[in-house]
Amino acid sequence: MSAPPYQIIIGLEVHVQLATQTKLFCRCSTQFGAPPNTQTCPVCTGLPGALPVMNRHAYELALVTARALNCEIPRYTKWDRKQYYYPDLPKGYQISQYDLPMSQHGYLEISDPQDRFEPKRVRVLRAHLEEDAGKSMHDEVAGRADSRIDLNRTGTPLLEIVSEPDMRSPLEAKAYLTELKLLLTYLGVSDCNMQEGSLRVDANVNLWLDVDGERVATPIVEIKNMNSFRAVERALTYEAERQFDVWEETGQRLGDVPKQTRGWDDNACVTKAQRSKEESSDYRYFPDPDLVPVMVTDDQLAVAESQLGELPAALRSRLQREYEVSAYDADVLVNQGRAVVDYFVEAARVSRDPKKASNWIQRDVLRALNESGTNIEDFGVCARNLGELIEQINDGQIPGSRGVEVFHQMREARSTLAEAMETLGITGVDSGELIALCQELLAKNPRVVSDVLNGKEAAVGSLIGQAKKSNPNVDPALVRQTCLDLIRQQST
Amino acid sequence: MSLTREEVERVALLARLELSPDEIERMTSQLSKILDHVEQLGQLDTTDVQAMAHAIEMSNVFAEDQLRAGLSRDDALSNAPKRDEECYRVPAVLGE
């Protein structure tokens, strides 16, 4: 594929719902899926005289997230009213943050284990805390006559994370989202469930073209309504091509037309024009007089700092450093979440073989989890049992060829290693037994010995079948190695 | 400082107010007077006055994240001009 004659410039706005019990400014539940309009009160429905009070936990979760994104936390922050009319916004304004956000100027590092792009730092312009709006539904029964409004979601705490336009391909945008989601999951600040709207993505995209050595930018388009990371990737790819076509047709540059908002249609795989974006002054922001500002305290900052824990990027390098797994393997393990990393660490400790523990997890454990749709906490083979399995294979107590069988026996019966081995009739073959068996076989097969001495090591293969016939528990690899060792010892 | 008719029309649109030509006339002069009144503040020398981001001097008021019962659905919907069993009903929101 030849490179397109333009560069794509992408910035992302991510809204993430913070994992609180109650809303940002009132104590109504944030539980998803409740019957419509059963989780509201005078504050979130905007009744006269009701006063909002900031949810402490929401602010703390926002603070931890901002620090994890390497943002600076200005001492002073306040909340503003963003005014617009929409039926799902009962107050006629959204409480958001305008000129003094709670955090700014951070970054998130992204890389690709397959090296399809250079590792880079995507700058985070700001992350601010705001409230969600309600939900409008079109009434299918009454046709287009009415819309129905459910205000349960109104006032739910959202952290809006705005990146700088630092991404240069749909792939980088997807990597940013994947890494951001992983970070949020490690922090436990959100369930990040896209289906339930806990994580929403808008993208700003335009193109840079080279016109006679001069850089020309096309008008910026905001894309909404992307319901998965895959959709984001596809929408951006589509939009870049569309903008290039429009450029060729009209020659419109940035500033020639107002900023456009387009919605992604996942079925048709196209973006469609929505209303023109109002200029930001149209929102007539002003400080919300009902809410007091926050002066962040040293205590609050210290608590946030202490709650960061070990984040994905640090964990990846620690796994490489302490367990000597490859960058790729560390990435796979860390991307599976904290529980899988803990599982790996325990299996590596018990087996004293991190590389094999990582292989087993990637090849067998993750596949079994995928197939059964369970998570690792409920998995039939605990980390300790996997570690013991690996150790016993390494010690020759379990033939390597039967390892997978033992693994699945433990998984299905949720049994210990000893129980699984007993069920399968596997008993350990100690090294004395193994050597005696090999010596016997070599004595009976002088031809094999002379072939090996003449450089044909493969000749040993014929002994393996005989060894297994004599004792089904022997490990073929160990038989091979022991025979070769014995032959070499004899010849010297 | 004087407002133009166009500015008043724009503010009315943003506030979703439908004003008659007479009302626009009246609002233009009334709003201008209000602005002129506030404009007097501009005569003061504020060189040494620190900028203020918020009118309240208090800060850091938080509530704990603990559930409290809100309104029943019937109470919540009782003021709605139009409703059904579960929801507020409003004129169709134009999609797309």
> How many folded domains does chain B comprise?
1
CB neighbourhood size of B22 (10 A)? 8
What is the reported pLDDT for A336?
92
Half-sphere exposure of A266 (CA within 13 A, CB side): 10
> What is the rounded distance in angstroms from the CA atom of residue A252 to the CA atom of residue A209?
12
Indicate the burial class of A325 (C-beta count within 10 angstroms; 0-12, 13-18, 19 or more). buried
Within-domain flag for B24? yes
Which of A194, A92, A94, A144 is CA-nearest to residue B95?
A144
Residues belonging to chain B with any Cβ–Cβ distance to chain A shorter than 8 Å: 14, 16, 53-56, 58-68, 70-73, 76-77, 82, 84, 86-93, 95-96
- Domain of residue B20: give its range: 5-43
Cβ neighbours of A86 in B, within 8 Å: 93
- Interface pTM (ipTM) of the complex? 0.89
- Tell me, yes or no, whether B26 lies in a domain: yes
Q: Is A28's Cβ below 8 Å from some Cβ in B?
A: yes
pLDDT at B52: 80
pLDDT tier at A279, thresholds 50, 70, 90: low
**B67 found inside a domain:** no
Look at B88 and A21 and tell me if their CB atoms are within 8 Å: no
In a domain, B64, yes or no: no
Chain B residues with beta carbon closer than 8 angstroms to that of A21: 65-67
Nearest chain B CA: its distance from A28 CA (Å): 6
Residue B18 belongs to some domain of the structure:
yes
Nearest to B58 among A44, A76, A292 (CB): A292
Query: Which string of b and e fits B25-44 if b means at least 16 CB within 10 Å?
Result: eebbeeebeeeeeeeeeeee
Residue B94 lies inside a defined structural domain of this protein = no
Is 90 exceeded by the pLDDT of residue A198? yes
A87 and B90 within 8 Å at the Cβ level: the answer is yes
Report the mean per-residue pLDDT for chain A. Answer: 92
How far does B15 lie from chain A, in Å, by closest CA? Answer: 8
Residue closest to A8 by CA, chosen among A137, A177, A174, A130: A174
Residues of A (243-282) whose Cβ lies below 8 Å from B = 263, 272, 274, 282
Assigned domain for B27 exists: yes
Q: Which of A147, A208, A305, A199 is nearest to A8 (CA)?
A: A208
Mutation target among A27, A154, A272, A300 for the B interface, most CBs of B within 10 A: A27
- Domains along chain A? 6-304 (no CATH), 310-424 (no CATH), 431-491 (1.10.10)
Q: What is the pLDDT of residue B1?
A: 61
Smallest Cβ distance to B76: which of A40, A76, A293?
A40
Contact A146 B88 (CB under 8 A): no
Q: Choose the closest CB to B61 out of A38, A292, A297.
A: A292
- Chain B positions touching A150 (Cβ under 8 A) are 86-87
Give the CATH number of the domain where residue B23 resides: 1.10.20.60
The stretch A302-322 carries a mean pLDDT of: 94
Whether chain B has a CB inside 8 Å of the CB on A137: the answer is yes
Determine whether the interchain pair B64/A39 forms a contact, defined as Cβ–Cβ distance below 8 Å: no
Interval A360-372: pLDDT, tens: 999 999 999 989 8
- Write down the pLDDT at residue A475: 78
**Long-range contacts made by residues A134-143, C-beta under 8 angstroms, separation at least 24?**
A134/A88, A134/A89, A134/A90, A135/A88, A136/A86, A136/A87, A136/A88, A136/B90, A136/B93, A137/B87, A138/B92, A138/B93, A138/B95, A139/B89
Say if residue A277's pLDDT is above 50. no
Which has the higher per-residue pLDDT, A349 or B15? A349
Residues from chain B that touch A85, judged by Cβ atoms under 8 A, are 16
Q: Which residues of B touch A56 (CB under 8 A)?
A: 62-65
Chain B nearest C-alpha distance from A53 (Å): 6
The single-letter code of the amino acid at A146 is: D
Is residue A467 over pLDDT 90? no
pLDDT at A160 over 90: yes
Contacts of A138 in chain B (CB under 8 A): 92-93, 95
Give the mean model confidence (pLDDT) for residues A196-222. 94
